[in-house]
Amino acid sequence: MCGFYCHAPPPQQQPRRQQQPRQQQQQQQQQQQQQQQQQQPAGALLQALALPTISLPADDSALPKAACAAMAEAGRAAEALHLRPALLDAVGRGMRRQAATADGARLFLAVDYRSLRYACSEGDADVARAWMERMAEHAGGGAGGTSSGPTQQQQQPPQQQQQPAGALLQALALPAISLPADDGALSNAACAAMAEAGRAAEALRLRPALLDAVGRGMLQLTAAADAARRFLAVDYRSLRYACGEGDAAVARAWMGRMAAAAGPPAS
């Protein structure tokens, strides 16, 4: 009997009590590690969001609901980018300010949200961050980044007459232009991107004065090396996404931002 009890296992209640918290801790650690690994590639996170298409409603009474849905999706993208709290707050205020009126809500849905969706679908964190910075500027915070200028606010929502222009933009098949590793090749790459943007401007049939302002704005934004890198890494890619989708409204808003960056015309 003694030998039996000597070899018998100890009561199992104590090990079970000790193993359960250990298992929970291990599971929590694994979850934290997985979350940290997922948080590293912002572009992959943006692409995984699969932001939905939100159509411009025909009935104005449905505009607030559609705008709120778009802002919620943009908020998901902002969280994936891990924006600092002050910028995240400014982005939210900027979106609400953009969509405060019926015309503003239409513009937000027809131009702003779609532009962000294109960037996220491409997994382009740089373009998405630039979008957030521009949106934060509408809150009056001055969060930095590129300036959208007043012309974006003046853009009209897309109409049926823009559909042929959208088809022309899509047919352009604007090429990808990589950011060169050598600064000596930066000027050539920027010139190539401006030439492609010029093709898009012609497809949009911009009036001569605006076409001239767009050209001067692009020259202004590529005058310095750092600015040229940003133009290639953010601005041109944003236009290329819009053209690839055949979205004339977003492309026109892009042209408006370029024109806003231009100085006064030469006398």
Rounded Cα distance between 64 and 49, Å, is 23
What pLDDT, on the 0 to 100 scale, is given for residue 27?
67
What pLDDT, on the 0 to 100 scale, is given for residue 153?
38
What pLDDT, on the 0 to 100 scale, is given for residue 43?
85
Average pLDDT over the chain reads 79
Give the pLDDT mean for 78-87.
88
How far is C-alpha 144 from the geometric centre of its chain's CA atoms?
15
Q: Tell me which residue of 201, 210, 224, 226 sits closest to 260, measured CA to CA.
A: 210
Give the pLDDT mean for 94-113.
87
Model confidence pLDDT, tens digit, residues 109-154: 988 899 999 999 999 999 999 999 999 988 764 443 333 443 433 3
What pLDDT, on the 0 to 100 scale, is given for residue 32?
64
Confidence of residue 57 (pLDDT cuts 50, 70, 90): confident
| Angle, helix 63-80 to helix 125-137, in steps of 10 degrees | 120
How far is C-alpha 41 from the geometric centre of its chain's CA atoms?
15
Give the pLDDT mean for 77-96.
88
Round to the nearest angstrom and report the end-to-end CA distance of the chain. 111
Give buried/exposed letters for 139-153 (b at 16+ CB in 10 A, else e).
bebebebbebbebbe
